[in-house]
Amino acid sequence: MDEETFRAIAEDIFNALPAGFLKLMQNVVVVIEDFAPEQQLVAMDIRSPYHLLGLYEGRPITEREAVDSGTLPDFIHLYRIPILAMQQRSGETIEACISDVLIHEIGHYFGFSDAQMEAIEAEQCGGRKM
């Protein structure tokens, strides 16, 4: 799947989020990249670029001041090729895979840790890894 189609699907999923979430998500940019940069993988001690599907970069809203103007945007990175590989392995639709990763990273924006997100995902999906 080419980057343009992948991006369009991700945008549709993002824009379909409940209005309450979208209203709270200010100054967030979703970036589509083929893989995470090598220096990011090294910093996170990730050996295979296929093991990082997405990444939230920014300051969660739980750590912000009441007036937090003039700050740079937060970024949600979606790594296209690892997500496509996950989709092939899982048999899920590409929309479901992109949605799983995007919602996981949005959880970090709202201050949830990986462990908290995994617990929520397990509860919502009957133990299916998102």
Cβ contacts of residue 74 below 8 Å, gap of 6+?
A: 27, 28, 29, 56, 57, 58, 59, 109
What are the tens digits of pLDDT across the range 95-117? 999 999 998 999 888 887 878 87
Alpha-carbon distance of 27 to 109, in angstroms, equals 11
pTM over the 0.75 mark: yes
93-96 own/partner pairs: CB under 8 Å, 24+ apart: 94/1, 94/6, 94/9, 95/9, 95/13
Alpha-carbon distance of 46 to 55, in angstroms, equals 13
Task: State the Cα torsion 30-36-37-42 to the nearest 10°.
Answer: 130
Partner residues linked to 28 by β-bridges? 74
CATH of 3-63+72-124, one of 3.40.50.11540, 3.20.80.10, 3.30.420.40, 3.30.2010.20: 3.30.2010.20
Q: Where are the domains of the chain?
A: 3-63+72-124
What are the tens digits of pLDDT across the range 74-94? 999 999 999 999 999 999 999
